[in-house]
Amino acid sequence: MIRLGSCIIMMVCWISLVFSSERYSSNLIKAANDKELCSIMLQQLEKQHKTHLEKAYAGYYHCLWAKHAFNPMAKLNSFKKGRKLLDEAAEQDPKSAEIRLLRYAIQENSPSFLGYKSNLSKDLEFIKQHKSNIKDKSLLIFLEKQKI
Mean of all residue pLDDT scores within the chain: 86
End-to-end CA gap in the chain: 50
Contact (CB, 8 A) for 65 and 39: yes
Q: How does residue 4 score in pLDDT terms, banded at 50, 70 and 90? A: low
State how far the Cα of 38 lies from the Cα of 28, in Å rounded to an integer: 9
Percent of the chain beyond pLDDT 90?
A: 63
Sign of CA dihedral 95, 19, 51, 68: positive
Confirm whether pTM is higher than 0.85.
no
